[in-house]
Amino acid sequence: MSDVPLSTPFDEFARWFAEAKAAEPTLPEAMSVATATADGSPSLRMVLLKAFDERGFVFYTNFESRKGDELAANPRAALCFHWKSLLKQVRIEGRTEEVTKAEADAYFASRVRGSQIAATASPQSRPYHEPDAFEKILKQTEARLADVATVPRPTYWSGYRVMPDVFEFWEERPFRLHDRLVYRRAGQGWTTERLFP
């Protein structure tokens, strides 16, 4: 006998995500990511989900960005998907870890050269004061890499994996009788409960 339930929140997410990919006109993989400073001050932004499996949900970014600084100090994040065409929302909360170097290298290598150069050039989330500062740094980076056939992945650019311990699946119902199903990690399995809308 196995303790693993027949349907996991990952299976449920996969089902909803497949529906969203068929129904959403743009970017079904867009999700908001909330992080917080060590003393609990929150911040939120959109990113793109690039992979998910039973280990967690992966997005790529600059590790020296604001979110990178916050995740270094407080390695927990919350994700939220809202698929308007389905009237569905999924919330996910968990610890974060950096993806393996092999995963990050493979994803970076799959991007077009222009995106690789922009990711390399941009000190994400840092301020600039001259109007053409980004153009300049982009040109310098292009020149530096002109003879390099394969743009190397910068050490400051990689992926975070959010490893869920809570999922909430929310579905709109008439008269605000919305359905909210929460999964919480419990040992090797998951407990479920419904919340009032």
Ligand X SMILES: Cc1cc2nc3c(=O)[nH]c(=O)nc-3n(C[C@H](O)[C@H](O)[C@H](O)COP(=O)(O)O)c2cc1C
Positions marked active-site: 176
The answer to whether residue 72 forms part of the interface with ligand X (CB under 6 A) is no
Binder to ligand X among 15, 21, 45, 139 (CB under 6 A)?
Answer: 45
Using CA atoms, how far apart are residues 168 and 92, in angstroms rounded to an integer?
A: 7
Binder to ligand X among 10, 52, 56, 67 (CB under 6 A)?
Answer: 67
The answer to whether residue 169 forms part of the interface with ligand X (CB under 6 A) is no
What 3-state DSSP class applies to 113? Answer: helix
Number of residues binding to ligand X, judged by CB under 6 A: 15
Of residues 50 and 184, the one with the C-beta less far from ligand X = 50
Interior CA angle at 60 toward 151 and 169, to 5°?
155
Pick the stretch among 17-25, 60-68, 87-95, 129-137 that binds ligand X (CB under 6 A): 60-68
Query: CB burial class (10 A; 0-12, 13-18, 19+) of residue 31?
Result: buried
Residue 160 near residue 145, CB atoms below 8 Å: no
Using CA atoms, how far apart are residues 139 and 33, in angstroms rounded to an integer?
A: 31
Pick the stretch among 45-53, 142-150, 172-180, 186-194 that binds ligand X (CB under 6 A): 45-53
Using CA atoms, how far apart are residues 26 and 85, in angstroms rounded to an integer?
A: 10
The two structure tokens encoding residue 103: 């995963």
Q: How far is CA 34 from CA 77, 145, 162, 194, in A?
A: 6, 34, 11, 23
The answer to whether residue 61 forms part of the interface with ligand X (CB under 6 A) is yes
* Stretch 122-151: interaction string toward ligand X, x if CB under 6 A: --xx--------------------------
Q: In sequence order, what are the beta bridge partners of 197?
A: none
Of residues 46 and 87, the one with the C-beta less far from ligand X = 46
Of residues 56 and 183, the one with the C-beta less far from ligand X = 56
Residues forming the site for ligand X (CB under 6 A): 27, 30, 43, 45-48, 59-61, 65-67, 124-125
